[in-house]
Amino acid sequence: MNRLEQSFELLNENDGKAFVPYLMAGDGGLECLVDRLLLLEKFGATAIEVGVPFSDPVADGPIIQNAGIRALKSRTTLKGIITELAKARELVTIPIILMTYLNPIYAYGIGAFVQDIQNAGVDGCIIPDLPIEEEDMLVPQLAEAQIELIRLVTPATPLERIKQIAGRGKGFLYMVTVKGITGTRNLFQHDLNQFLRAVKELSPIPVLAGFGISSQEQINELTKYCDGVVVGSRIVELFEKNNLSEMEILMSIFNKNHK
Ligand SMILES: O=P(O)(O)OC[C@@H](O)[C@@H](O)c1c[nH]c2ccccc12
């Protein structure tokens, strides 16, 4: 069983909810990546989504776009990130999910990419611009390397397609909460809970909500209807401000040491 499946099994046994923070690799310099991953693990992360900076990040809002620009300015490369992740794997026990657009993988070479991330102990990938119709170019190799592709559905995805997408995955289904880009928001569409419930019903694997989540209130509300949350922009912002105490507070309900 893959590390991701294991983590979710453990959560289920304890009636727990998952917290998956996102960070941009190379923001603040690639040399701080391992320490940041360790910190997120200590604060109670279930798994960590590690973003690869890219020049045309079509799904990203301003906070993550800017983090990507900072990372690219400090000359972060996919190769460099994978090298750091291999070091992290010796210390970090929770699953690592690499989030990248397709283009950097393509430029790296698909075979080399899969082999290198497998050696680095990566457990999953999120590739937002890889539709299920095109998966064959990559997913068989990932499956062979025991790396899960985490697939996304959004409020614009028809129910029939949600069923199809959810039925393919093993790790978790990423439920995008908005028809839009990443970034903190105060309000969600009023029918979001209904949508979450419908997705949850259709999905044989855990469902995590992401996009626009930045407060404990939002987390408490959303996790009534799903198995956990992904938080990106808020975490990126707190790392940038070096406001680690606020990060610890945001994650405190997930930190078993505090219970
Ligand atoms: O930043 P937010 O609104 O908290 O959303 C999570 C998100 O950042 C992270 O999962 C992510 C960053 N870039 C992406 C691109 C596509 C899908 C997901 C992502």
Centre of ligand 1 to C-alpha 63, Å, is 10
| pLDDT > 60? residue 257 | no
C-alpha 227/C-alpha 202 separation (Å) is 14
Residue 201: count of CB within 10 angstroms of its CB: 11
Around ligand 1, the residues with Cβ closer than 6 Å are 22, 49, 51, 59-60, 64, 99, 126, 128, 182-183, 210-213, 230-234
pTM here? 0.96
Ligand 1 binding pocket mutation candidate from 20, 230, 231, 235 (most atoms within 8 A of CB)? 230
49 assigned to active site:
yes
Given ligand 1 and candidates 50, 64, 65, 247, which is best to mutate, with the most ligand atoms within 8 Å of its CB?
Answer: 64
Query: Are the C-beta atoms of residues 175 and 209 closer than 8 Å to each other?
Result: yes
Query: Residue 14's pLDDT is what?
Result: 80
What is the average per-residue pLDDT within 232-240?
A: 98
pLDDT, average across residues 114-120? 98
Tokens 């909500």 identify what position?
A: 209
The residue whose CA has the least distance to atom 4 of ligand 1 is: 232
Q: Report whether 22 contacts 235 (CB < 8 A).
A: yes
pLDDT tens-digit profile of 161-184? 999 999 998 899 999 998 888 888
Of the listed 5, 27, 41, 49, which one is catalytic?
Answer: 49
Please tell me the distance from the alpha carbon of residue 61 to that of residue 39, in angstroms, as a whole number: 24
In total, how many domains does the chain have? Answer: 1
| Amino acid in the structure at residue 222 | L
Q: What spacing in Å lies between the alpha carbon of 86 and ligand 1's midpoint?
A: 23
Contact between 83 and 110 (Cβ < 8 Å): no
Angle ∠(192,58,226) on CA atoms, nearest 5: 25
pLDDT of residue 90: 97
Q: Which domain holds residue 178?
A: 3-258
| Distance from Cα 220 to the centre of ligand 1, integer Å | 19
List 22's β-bridge partners, or say none: 49
Tokens, residue 135: 């998966």
**Residue 68 burial (CB count, 10 A):** 24
User: Which residues have CB under 8 Å from 43's CB, separation 6+?
Assistant: 247, 248, 251, 252, 254, 255
Question: Catalytic: 35?
Answer: no
For residue 157, the one-letter residue type is T
pLDDT tens-digit readout, 207-227:
999 999 999 999 999 999 999
Question: Over the range 108-120, which residues count as b (16 or more CB within 10 Å of their CB) and which as e?
Answer: beeeebbebbbeb
CATH number at residue 15: 3.20.20.70
Q: Is the Cα dihedral 178, 184, 188, 194 positive or negative?
A: positive
Task: List pLDDT tens digits, range 79-91.
Answer: 999 999 999 999 9
Identified catalytic residue from 27, 60, 123, 148: 60
Average pLDDT, the chain: 94
> Reduced to 3 states, what is the DSSP secondary structure of residue 176?
strand
Q: For tokens 């469902």, what's the residue?
A: 207
